[in-house]
Structure formats: C-alpha cells, structure tokens
Amino acid sequence: MTEKWFNANRPRRLRRSKAIRRLVRETRLSPQNLVYPIFVKDSGAKEPIASMPGIYRLPVDQLEAEVVEVKELGIPAVIIFGIPSKKDPYGSGAYADYGIVQKAVSQIKHIEDDLVVMTDVCLCQYTDHGHCGIIGGNEILNDKTLELLAKTAVSHAEAGADLVAPSAMMDHQVAAIRRGLDDSNFQNVAVMGYSAKYASGFYGPFREAAYSNPSFGDRRSYQMDPANSREAMKEIEIDIQEGADIVMVKPALAYLDIIARAYERFDVPIAAYNVSGEYALVKAASMNGWIEEKRVVLEILNSIRRSGAELILTYFAKDVARWLRDDEEV
C-alpha cells in the first residue's frame, strides 16, 4: 500500500457536476434579490441612453409594458427616477403634486399593485444647478434642504410609494423624512437610506441619463470620500438610529469591503447599488467581444450577494432574471 503523503481532502469532489456544485453553493442569486431602476419622463418618445445600452428614458404613458415585464420575470421591486421637463433653484419638481415621479408611482400602483415601488428622494434632477440640495452662496445648505426632502418623500408616499430612498447625503435626511412620513400618517412607508454613498466617478452615465451633472463644483462636500470605510460605518449607524429600515452601500463593486463590513456589523438588510458606470463598463467590453457578458454579470452580482447584500439595485435585473430562468450557471 502506498503511504498517503496527503490528507483526505479533495475539494474537487464537490465540483464534479453542475448538480453537485449547485447543492453546495453558499450564495444564491435570485430575481427576488433584485430591484430594477426605471427612468421616467413626462412625454415624447422612449429614448435610448447612449452610455447605458438597453436602458431608456420612458414616457409615463409607456410604463405599462415595462412594469408587466418586470413582474412576469419575478423581480419584486422597481425604483423610480424622474426626469422633469422643468428645473428651478429649489427643485420644486421633486415635490410637486403632479410631478413626474408622483405620476409614475400612481400609474405603476394602478397597473401592478403588488410590485414594490421605491422612489429616489433627492433634488439633483430637479435643481437648475444640479446639486442635491439648495444653494446659499457657495454652499449646499443642509438643514434647509431637509424640509424639501421630507416634502418630496411625503408626496411620493401620497402617490403610493412603498419605500422612499433618500440619496442626497444631507445629514439627518432619514430623521427628517421619517418624521415627515409619520406626521402625515405614513408610518408604514419604509425608508432605505443611501447611507454610504460615495462621491464616485461611476455615476457618470446616470448623470447623462438624468441630465443631473452639477453646473459648478462637485458633490464631494456631501458624498463620501472613497478612501474611507470607518466613516461608512458611522453613516450607516446614524441612519439606523434615525429609523432607516434598510441601508445601502453605493457604488457596489469598488466597495465590496464596505458591504461586507456593514453586513457583519448591523442587523438590518443591506442593499447595494450596482450603479450606471458599473453597467456601462460591462456593456462596453461585451459589445466589443472582450468579455462574456452573461458570465461576468452573474459573477459580479454573486460577489455583491456574497459580500452580504440582500437587495441589489441593478440595470441588469431583467437580463439576470431571464438568465436565471434559463438555468445559467455562474
């Protein structure tokens, strides 16, 4: 008998077939984890977004087909981004009774009542200067902006939103919104904080899609410094104290360490936003034939799940739901 010079472990035994691999898989990705972002505008034709192939600015009256498709694919939630036809210094389109998001939300709820409808609560798409809050001198005013964010969230709730997601990175935005909702009897509308939202170059295509590039300066005085991770824990902790039901890390791919740390540390669901620039990178490379899109996307989304995110906001949601239905392996 030959003497064993190794131990009995042979990890390859559990990799022999697709069925075995599936049995022992540690992380599962399902359409149920996904949230599909939708850009909505008032009128006109459905417009493709150049840097986000496959994603469109949809007029409100063409939402139905999209919403029905999302529902049929088993995706439980959408998040709505409005592209208003007018902007002003106070972002009043964000909290207008018949603003674009308000119209879209009530339409969607009318079409598919059990689809979870989330809204992005921010002013940047609605201000003529493109900042996420109102301006005084050269500053983005925190506390004055809070009132407007709360008003926006309440108007979304009135339209039927199930969950509002403040993304302006103003201090105490979750508290202001929670108070606004409760005062208007929307105790059951949930808040998902964009808690650890970094000042990132990965938002480029989104800003093209939503015409929301700041006209002066940048967002570094309110969004987080990409070099920081302890500060992300502080932001998340504050949001949870203020009543956030779900906390988000954004972007996802360059911040998987932040997702993992947040998952270890906090006992609320963690969301991750696989943002527009992450989508654009994969699309550009796959359109050039340099990578296999399906494999790469599944691998990326699995890495986000593996890091600890239960919810993933992704422009790939519909594609992924189709691939998973077709039983594609990671």
Residues at the interface with ligand PBG (CB under 6 A): 120, 122, 124, 132, 167, 203, 206-207, 275-276
d(CA 35, CA 77): 5
Sequence-distant (≥ 6) Cβ neighbours of residue 205 within 8 angstroms: 49, 51, 52, 276, 277, 279, 280
Q: Which is nearer to ligand PBG, 56 or 264 (CB)?
A: 56
Least separation in angstroms between CB 115 and ligand PBG: 20
CB of 259 to ligand PBG, least distance (A): 16
* Nearest distance, CB of residue 128 and ligand PBG, angstroms: 15
Q: Which is nearer to ligand PBG, 139 or 182 (CB)?
A: 139
Indicate the residue among 108 and 123 with the shorter CB distance to ligand PBG: 123
Q: Report the distance separating Cα 167 and Cα 80, nearest Å.
A: 13
Instruction: For the CB of residue 167, give the shortest distance to ligand PBG in the complex, in Å.
Output: 4
For residue 93, the one-letter residue type is G
Q: Which residues are catalytic, by number?
A: 197, 250
Distance in Å, CB of 104 to ligand PBG, minimum = 15
User: Is-contact 82 89, C-beta < 8 A?
Assistant: no
Distance CA(175)–CA(183), nearest Å, equals 12
Comparing CB distances to ligand PBG, the nearer of 111 and 199 is 199
Q: Which is nearer to ligand PBG, 147 or 182 (CB)?
A: 147
Q: Which residues contact 160 (CB under 8 A, 6 or more apart)?
A: 105, 106, 108, 109, 117
What is the Cβ-side half-sphere exposure of residue 253, based on CA atoms within 13 angstroms? 19
Cβ 193 to ligand PBG shortest distance, Å: 12
Q: What angle do CA 268, 269, 270 make, to 5 degrees?
A: 115
Q: Which is nearer to ligand PBG, 5 or 276 (CB)?
A: 276
**DSSP 3-state assignment of 49?**
coil
Q: How many residues in the chain? A: 330
The distance of closest approach from Cβ of residue 206 to ligand PBG in the complex, given in angstroms and rounded to an integer, is 3
**Residue number with CB closer to ligand PBG (209 or 321):** 209
Question: Which pair of tokens denotes residue 104?
Answer: 């879209």
Q: Is the dihedral of CA 216, 221, 223, 229 positive or negative?
A: positive
User: CA-CA distance, 58 to 306, in Å (whole number)?
Assistant: 33
Strand, coil or helix: 86: coil
DSSP assignment of 139-203 equals EEEHHHHHHHHHHHHHHHHHHT-SEEEE-S--TTHHHHHHHHHHHTT-TTSEEEEEEEEB--GGG
